[in-house]
Structure 1
């Protein structure tokens, strides 16, 4: 087997409207068309897709609250980390700088899914 690339990641959210606000309005991701019979939203990010799937019973547990990067997370690159930080702060999103000292920070979506933003 030879894996060519990562195609998508799916994460569970309890409230699709709140999640869409975070991923569309705050992170600025572009929605794509989906024709499935269960509630969800798909986003295209370069050659990669992020799939939000609504499950009202899901709970996301943070295993390491002191270091968010040591939990399951998805990482995106940004062209300007300071601008991304300002955008998150403007929407009162929680932020934790990377413990490694590199140009990266972590935030959480409304369901506690951890998102890493790394400077290109």
Structure 2
């Protein structure tokens, strides 16, 4: 077996409209159409899709609330983490900087799913 790439990541959310506001407006992810009739939303990030699947009874389990990055999470790359920090702070969003010293932060969506946002290394081209 040789896995060649990640096609998509799917997470559960309890309230599609509330999650849509978080992922569309706060994180500004680009939405794409989805061919299914169950409740959910799809986003396209480069070659990978990010799927939200609605389950009204879902709450993310957090095992380590002191360091939320040490829980299951999805990571997104950005060009300028300081811009992201400023935007999150302007919206009153709580986040934790990475304890490793990397240019990364962790925050939670309305259901407690952990999101990592990491500054991508500048390419040497």
Normalising by the smaller structure, the TM-score range is over 0.9
- Per the TM alignment, residue 82 of structure 1 is displaced from its structure 2 partner at its CA by 0.7
Where has structure 1 moved over 2 Å in runs of 4 or more? Answer: none
Counterparts of 2:92 and 2:83, CA distance in 1 = 14
- Per the TM alignment, residue 58 of structure 1 is displaced from its structure 2 partner at its CA by 1.0
Partner of 2:123: none
Deviation by residue 1:44-87 (Cα, 9 ceiling, x = unmatched): 00001000001001121110011111100000110010111111
Gap runs ≥5 in structure 1: none
Partner of 2:114: 114
TM-score, structure 1 normalization: 0.97
SS of the residue aligned with 1:107?
A: strand
- Per the TM alignment, residue 88 of structure 1 is displaced from its structure 2 partner at its CA by 1.3
Counterparts of 1:16 and 1:45, CA distance in 2 = 19
Partner of 1:92: 92
SS of the residue aligned with 2:21?
A: helix
User: How many equivalent residue pairs?
Assistant: 120
SS of the residue aligned with 1:11?
A: strand
Partner of 1:55: 55
- Per the TM alignment, residue 37 of structure 1 is displaced from its structure 2 partner at its CA by 1.4
Gap runs ≥5 in structure 2: 121-125
For the aligned residue pairs, the C-alpha RMSD in angstroms reads 0.7
TM-score, structure 2 normalization: 0.93
